[in-house]
Structures are given as structure tokens and as C-alpha cells.
A and B are shown apart, each in its own frame.
Chain A
Amino acid sequence: MNRFSLLVAAFAISSCGRGESTDGSGVHDAGGDAPTGHDAGGDASTSVLCTPCAESSECGSAATCAQYAGSQYCGRPCSGQSDCGNDETCLPTVAEDGAQVSVCVPSNGTCGENGCGTCPAGTSCDLAAGSCVEAELDGGDDGGPDDEDDAGSDPDGGSVQPYVGPDGGKVHKLFFAIIGDTRPPGSNDTAHYPTAIITKIYEEIQAMNPRPQFVITTGDYMFAAPTGAQGDKQMKLYLAARSHYKGTVFAALGNHECYNNCAGVTDNNNFNAFLDGLVKPLGQAKPYYSIPINDIDGKWKAKVVMVACNAWSSAQKTWLTSELAKPTTYTFIVRHHPMGSTAPCTDDMAPLLKSAKYNMLAVGHIHKYSHSGKQLLEGVGGAPRSGTFNHGYATVRQLDDGTLRVRQYDYETKKIVGSFILP
């Protein structure tokens, strides 16, 4: 991406009247009234329920295209349960445009052949994801697996205890969190580092019951000149905020920790701050590494593959090719740049991603939350958000049937604002 500076002088155009703009010859008026939300009232019938949709315009004026029962359907907005029918639930979920909405959905989380159907005993229906999940421990919060042994406790002497440390570990079921992009708005703008947001996110993850076994971060912990001292200062602020989570954090390299390609580079202060603060404490010598996490009973194996796009080299490519070829039940690839963006690794990685078997590609770089196919974009960890999702974080949970469920949380409300099953 190009960044350019443009000095403008004496470029003038007339406009008409305070509070308005001129016509298309210059200053625009973005349509007069601002867009408004869908009318929660109205007299819409229940006929829109479970009508598949891609956009809200397909749902009529009194309904919204939103996620529930595992897909996107039209739903009537609601402000409480009293707005919905007897067999419906007023569900906070996500509209097709990313906005947070509440809509009436079928209480059984089922639309035709999609959704929960009849859930087995001991499970309940996740109405948004449309899948049966184990009963939650803490009254509807994610909570993670109901197996509290997986709460990230330390190893205990001779017996094998569920634990994930810097070298990986063993658990009963995977449950981890993902945070992305925690940099301030401007270069060297350490005074406006988003410490409060990052701190709250890590505090919330620490407070989850059970606690996620580990955390993955997708890069960009700083915004600083790589020749100056601010990158190190920002890294210290980040580490202080991160310290509110007591588990292990596996960090991916972002472009702001380097700016170009730091493979073999030793004099980039940002890169060095990243290595010293986030990589070496894990016992890793390189910015790319793979972490094994396996079933404590030996039924499945997983690996978390941390790729350093901005320290790309033929050696890393060879390593990545080898890592991806190792057979594991679950493979989570983490890098900073989403598919389709440009970075030192992207051209080389494209064919690898095409041929490799993996479950999820976790990325950041863009300061929003979204998902497409196997890619989870998690970039709302504190950097200036560019979409309509608030700052927050995601969790990934291995369900009883082996599928992986992702949930996105709003860090202010602590509510789930997105949920989907990885394909």
C-alpha cells in the first residue's frame, strides 16, 4: 500500500450554507439524512422467519438479514422477548453488514434442515451457530469446554495434567483466544497507546471460566519508527497490558514490527523489541515457529503454526512446507496478512495454502473482525477499528463432535457478536 502526503494550498470551491454541502461539482452531501437502523417496530408478519438472504434489502422494510441457525436468514428486529412469538427467541446477533442487531429467531435454532434440530441430552442449541453445544458453565458466557481441567492449570508432578505452555501441551479439548492488532493510531504515538483496551481484553480472557488454554495474537503491537526507541516503549506497554492474562501467548509478527522484510535483519529496533518481548520468552529463536498441542488421551493432535510474513526467507518457506506436511488432526496457521494482501510471504504461501490441510488461517492487519472460509480476520484488539465491530477478541472451541466453533466478543459489553463453525 502506498502512503502519500499531500500538501494542499489554495484549492477552493464555494459551498452553500452551513450544515449542508454543495452538489456534485465539489463538496458532497452524503445523502442528507444519515442511514438509520431497521425499524424495530412495524407490522411485519412472521413470514420472513427462516427466509434465506444475502442482504437486508431482500427481507423487506421491517426485517433484517442476520446470522442465525447457522446461516443468514431474514429476521424481525426485537428489543426484548416480548417482541417475539411463542416459539421464538430474541437473539443478539450480527446482521449481514456487520451491525449488531437483535432479531426474533426460532427457539429451536432450526430453519428447515439447517440448524440444531433436536439436541442430545446435556447439550443446548447455539442459536446463532445452529449447532448443539455442551451446556455452558457460567450462565451463557462462552466459558469454553465444561471440562475445567482444561483451564490452563500448571503441570502437576508425575501425573499428566492439561496444560499448554511455551512448548505446547496436552488438553482434553481445545479452547483458545485470538487477539489482533493492538497498535496506536500514529507513528511514535506512544502517548495514545490503547493500553486500556488491551488490558480489558486480556482481563476478560483471564476471567473466562474456564480460562482459554492459550492466546494467539496476529501482529502489530506497535507503531513506531524502526530506528527509534518508541517501539520498545510500546512493547513494554503491551506486555504490561498482556500480563493480566496468566497463560501462554503465541505471537505472530506484524508488518509494524518490521516494515519491510526483517529476515536476517539485526538493527531494526521494532523487530528486536518483538523478538525480545514476545518470541524469546517462549524459548524460540526465530520469529516463526510451530507449537504442538495434543489430546491428553491421544485421540487427536493439533499444531499452531506461527508464520512471520515480514521475516520471510527461503529457510522459512522450507520450514513451513515441512510443518504443513506433518499430519495433525487440527492445524491452525497464524500470520499477520490476510489472503489477498501483499506481503513478503504472500506469493510463496499462496500455493502452500492451496495444497495444505488446515482448519483455520488466523490473520490481522485490517482492523476489523470478519471471516471467510477458513480465514478468521481478527484485527480489533485496540488499533483504530475500520469496520462496525467494536474492539474485542475471538475464542475457538473444539466441540464434542470435533468441529471448531469461533465466537467473537465485544470487549465492552462482553457479548458474543459473531459465531460460526469453521468449515
Chain B
Amino acid sequence: MSLAIRLEVLVIALGAMSAGCRDDRAATPKAVKPVPCAPAVLSAKRGTPIVDGKLDNPVWHAAEASTPFIDEQRNRPVPHTEARACWDDGSLFVLLYAADEELRASDRVRIEFDAGRIEASPDGKLYCRFGAESDCAALGVKAALDVDGDVDATAKEDEEWTVVISVPWSRLAPSGRPSELPVSFRRDDSLAGEPLRTVWSRGCGAIRLE
């Protein structure tokens, strides 16, 4: 698709948008189907990418691409989603690619570590939660997006969005950088209005540092 029009938008310090905790599931318990775990390991090479959201950084070209995400519950092809990772002494870097023919602000990708989790949406919002801390800036979490399409403009064709997220090791592993880090990736999207959740490993994946 056309790359002719490229708008660089810098959003800094938009501040916290705290939301009160509400446990919806406790209020309306749902039957949850057990889904089989899909063990997977994503190799991460040493390297420091520019956190600009773009997949054209050589560090990402050299990185292993994860197996494509799968529908959380059904055995069927789903819009392509993949993850790549790399690391340096200070941070872990994760790239998430999502093919998406209809970008919505409500779309999400999520990275979940033992220490906390991070979510991003194609409209540029970033959400963090590590223990009691939810301020991404205070946590040192940075993210950048590259969006091919128009968010919430249903009349226009969209193609994909990519987010690059960096997380300091001090938040992920305060006691020292591990050789393997448990991680889950998830994508929430919609398909013709139907909620669609795709996952990588169904909760039992890991990033292995090379």
C-alpha cells in the first residue's frame, strides 16, 4: 500500500489516565473453556533497535519471527500476527506485527510477563501494569507505532500496524537478566464486528535470549 503520506506524530507525557479497578468477571462469572497450552519459544538476538515502530530496522530483519498467532479457541486461519524480540544490556525489545484490514481504536496487542503487562492500541495509547505501578513513563516503558491505515475510518482500506515496545530489565527481572523469560502475547481485534482473540502460545511461551 502507499507509503506516500507519512505523518510523524510525537506524543509525550500525555499523563496518566487512571481507571478504577473493577472486577467484571467476579460480578458476572463466565464458564471458561480450558484451552490447550501451545509451548513456544521465541529466540531474541542481542541488538538495539530504534524504537520507532518500524519493521524496516535491520535488527528486526535479523530477528526470528514467531510462529503466527492462532485463534484462542477455534482452529481456523486468522489475520496474521507475529512477534519478534531482541535485547541489550538495558532493555528487552518486542515488535508485534498485526495485519489488519480495519483498524480500530479498540484493537489491542498485549505482552504479558510474570512481572507485569503492557498493552498498545493502533491509536497510540499504551497501557502498563507492573505491580502497583501503571505509569508507563515511570516504569521506563517506551513504545512506538507504525500504522498503515486509518484508525476508525471504516470507509478506508487498512493493511497493518506494528508496535515496538522496550521494557527495562530492571522491571522485568530485578534480580538479574534471565536466559529465558516467560511471556504471553495476545491480540484482541474484531472480524466483521465479531470479537476475535488471537494468541501465540496460549500462556506457556518464552523469549530465549541468545
Contact = CB atoms under 8 A, between A and B. Distances in A.
Interface of A: 1-23, 25-37, 97, 99-100, 185-192, 225, 255-256, 259-260, 340-342, 365-368, 384-390
B56 A188 contact: yes
Contacts of B190: 30
Most A Cβ at <10 Å: residue of B30, B52, B195: B195
Interface size band for B = 35 or more
A28 B196 CA distance: 13
Interface stretch (B6-14, B36-44, B86-94, B167-175): B6-14
Nearest to B113: A18
B47 interface: no
10 contacts: A1-B1, A8-B120, A9-B11, A23-B19, A29-B188, A37-B74, A185-B65, A187-B54, A260-B2, A387-B79
Interface of B: 1-25, 30-33, 51-56, 58, 60-62, 65, 71-74, 76-80, 82, 97, 99-101, 106, 108, 112, 117, 119-120, 124-129, 134-139, 142-150, 156-160, 162, 188-192, 194-197
B14 A11 contact: yes
Contacts of A12: 15-18, 126-128, 134-139
Given A5-B53, A385-B80, A388-B77, A191 B17 contact: no
A26 B127 contact: yes
Contact of B6 (A5, A27, A30, A390): A5
B13 A9 contact: yes
B119 A8 contact: no
Nearest to B108: A28
A186 B53 CA distance: 11
Contacts of A5: 6-9, 52-54, 144-147
Given A27-B119, A35-B194, A10 B150 contact: no
B208 to A, nearest CB: 19
B80 A21 contact: no
Given A4-B8, A97-B192, 17 more contacts: A3-B3, A5-B8, A5-B146, A7-B12, A8-B142, A11-B127, A12-B16, A12-B134, A30-B108, A35-B195, A100-B76, A185-B160, A186-B97, A188-B58, A365-B157, A386-B100, A387-B191
A23 B99 CA distance: 25
Contact of B156 (A1, A17, A27): A1
B186 to A, nearest CB: 9
Most A Cβ at <10 Å: residue of B23, B33, B55, B194: B55
B22 A23 contact: yes
Contacts of B157: 1, 340-341, 365-366
A390 B71 CA distance: 13
Contacts of B73: 33-37
Contacts of A19: 112
A22 B58 CA distance: 36
A32 B24 CA distance: 9
B118 to A, nearest CB: 10
A10 B12 contact: yes
B101 A366 contact: yes
A36 B117 CA distance: 26
